[in-house]
Amino acid sequence: MNQNPNLAFADYAVFIIYFIVVSVYGYTIYRKREKNEHDAKAYFLAEGTLTWWAIGASLIASNISAEQFIGMSGEGFFLGIAVAAYEWIAAIALIIIAIWFIPVYLKNKIYTMPQFLKTRYNESTALIMAVFWLFLYVFVNLTSILYLGAVAINGLAGGEYLHAIMIGLAVFALLISLGGMKVVAYTDVIQVAVLIIGGLVTTYIALTTVGRYFGVGEDAIAGFQVLMEKAPEHFKMIIPRPDENSTQLEINKYLTFPGMLSYLAGIWIINLNYWGCNQYITQRALGADLQTARTGILFAGFLKLLMPVIVMLPGIAAFVLYENGHLPQLVGGKDGAYSAVLTFLPTGLKGLSVAALTAAIVASLAGKVNSISTIYTLDVHKKYIQKNATDRSQVNIGRYAVFAAMLLAVLFTWNDVLGIGGVGGFTYIQKYTGFISPGVFAMFILGMFWKRTTGTAAIVGVISGFLLSVLFNEFAPALFGNETLLYTAWPNGKGGFEIPFHICMGLSFMFTMLLMIAVSFAGPKVNPKAFELDSEMFKIKPQTTVMIVITLLIIFALYAKFW
């Protein structure tokens, strides 16, 4: 089988066809919305025009990017199936958001996350978080997606075109995002189709390659059985707690994903904050009616169940091949696993997989800059710079913001000014977003469902959440010892001790909640800005119940099989 890592003419042809199809479809959608070209809500939210399947596909396309393909495949190489918890728990988190979060947003006509904070708390909280989210989205998310994506595709194209690919990805995403949310969401449908088809092809080739090398024939099911036989520890959902006989490798795995303790807090905070309190994600559903939004979110949850097959299994296949001397082309440790597997793809299919990777990157970039422009235009520019801005002016400002954000991302990734390559893109994103997640999630969850929560408590929450995250992640073992009632710190192999990241998030969230509750008790029993909730908001239709039950049964079966 051809194992040339470089792309051939047929691969470029497949990729060009993908580019033309997405571009033509995007332009067609743009032409259809020309009559509403200067309607701000239509531009930023595609209000009332997105179908449930467009919302669901767009959620997935925006979520899955290079850090998933490269990072999660690498974690599959290192940890195994335990990393699938991020995807399968996300499906449950999306059910929670569809039932309880989205009705609160829609009833109160919330279009952006800073607007939620202003409506529920005060303008100061909203402005602080708007500025923070803009910096986070531009200098953490956008830059890491662009850098990781360009590096991954450059490696497959021969390693000599990094900056050209970087510009190409930025321009492609720019063309899509300038058309507004409707163009972004509907082109995401094609992107997610290419992503899934290309990803499944890569997984199939990886499994048949395993079967061929281990003498069971080029059969995907037989190849999967070989993986389970050769790496049984990679098919356990729960990483065991280390003991005195554990190796450093086993401790490192636990530090990454601390077994059952992950399920007590950390992984829920990550998912509920990401999917429910994140402009980048929720924006897709905020312009729809409740039933359409709910169905789209649940459809995204169903698709999440499939994602480990696409982004994790190739990593486990790479581990088994590498451990048995069949993957000498693996470079760069676990993060090189996915690219190494792609070298097994025949000509043409390699182009499809590159198209899938590109689809994931471009969809994420377009979705991210669209959210950046929405927050900047509606929550900063219109409120503080041009209060009387017309719809036409808002759309134009939004487009300028899209261009400026993408230009900044290119400038800061051109020579990797931020050092993304040094720590790894997946780690880079987790590090900077994880520090703020406990405080932001506490601020949102109490703001939605506890009427006593005050604006002062919200500011205390976001600041204390960050400071507590830094304390537990960086300083707690040195200050309080390695073994306390709250945590155990483990040797990290670098001369120090660490508390598993998920446990740090749980502890930060718990203490942040306690502080916010204590501060709120100093205020009135019912905050004047509290949302009015009623039981009718949370009622679900029979077809929605069926979707929820099917998703939960599949998750239950997966955990029963791989516990």
Calculate Rg over the CA atoms of the chain: 23
Question: Residue 63, class by beta-carbon neighbours within 10 Å (0-12 exposed, 13-18 middle, 19+ buried)?
Answer: buried
Percent of the chain with pLDDT over 90: 40
Nearest to 143 by CA among 335, 359, 353, 421: 421
Summary mean pLDDT of the chain: 86
Question: Residue 315, class by beta-carbon neighbours within 10 Å (0-12 exposed, 13-18 middle, 19+ buried)?
Answer: buried
Q: Quote the pLDDT of residue 34.
A: 57
- In order, the DSSP letters of 213-251 are HTTS-S-HHHHHHHHHHH-GGGG-SSPPPP-TT--HHHH
Strand partners of residue 491: 497
Q: How far apart are CA 351 and CA 8, in angstroms?
A: 8
Q: How far apart are CA 437 and CA 424, in angstroms?
A: 20
Give yes or no for residue 431 having a pLDDT over 70. Answer: no
Q: What is the pLDDT of residues 275-302, one digit of tens each?
A: 999 887 777 788 788 999 999 999 999 9
Q: How far apart are CA 409 and CA 135, in angstroms?
A: 11
Mean of pLDDT values over 317-335: 83
443 within 8 A of 462, measured Cβ to Cβ: yes
Q: How far apart are CA 438 and CA 255, in angstroms?
A: 19
Residue bearing tokens 């960086």 = 474
Helix (H, G, I), strand (E, B) or coil at 307: helix
Q: How far apart are CA 243 and CA 251, in angstroms?
A: 9
Give yes or no for residue 68 having a pLDDT over 80. Answer: no
Q: Quote the pLDDT of residue 1.
A: 44
Q: What is the pLDDT of residues 200-230, one digit of tens each?
A: 988 999 999 999 999 888 889 999 999 999 9
Higher per-residue pLDDT: 421 or 337: 337
Q: Quote the pLDDT of residue 2.
A: 46
Mean of pLDDT values over 408-412: 92
Q: What is the pLDDT of residues 374-405, one digit of tens each?
A: 899 988 998 888 888 888 888 889 889 999 99
Higher per-residue pLDDT: 17 or 427: 17
Q: Quote the pLDDT of residue 48.
A: 64
Q: What is the pLDDT of residues 233-283, one digit of tens each?
A: 999 999 999 988 889 989 988 988 898 998 988 889 989 998 999 887 777
Structural domains present in the chain: 9-434+533-562 (1.20.1730.10)
Q: What is the pLDDT of residues 472-523, one digit of tens each?
A: 988 999 999 999 999 999 998 888 999 998 999 999 999 999 999 999 999 8
Q: How far apart are CA 197 and CA 213, in angstroms?
A: 24
User: Any alpha helices (H) in 476-541, and if so which ranges?
Assistant: 476-480, 501-520
Q: Quote the pLDDT of residue 367.
A: 82
Percent of the chain with pLDDT over 70: 93
Mean of pLDDT values over 42-59: 78
CB atoms within 10 A of CB 95: 21
Mean of pLDDT values over 56-68: 80
Q: How far apart are CA 474 and CA 211, in angstroms?
A: 44
Mean of pLDDT values over 522-537: 89
Nearest to 169 by CA among 419, 43, 357: 357
Q: Quote the pLDDT of residue 525.
A: 92
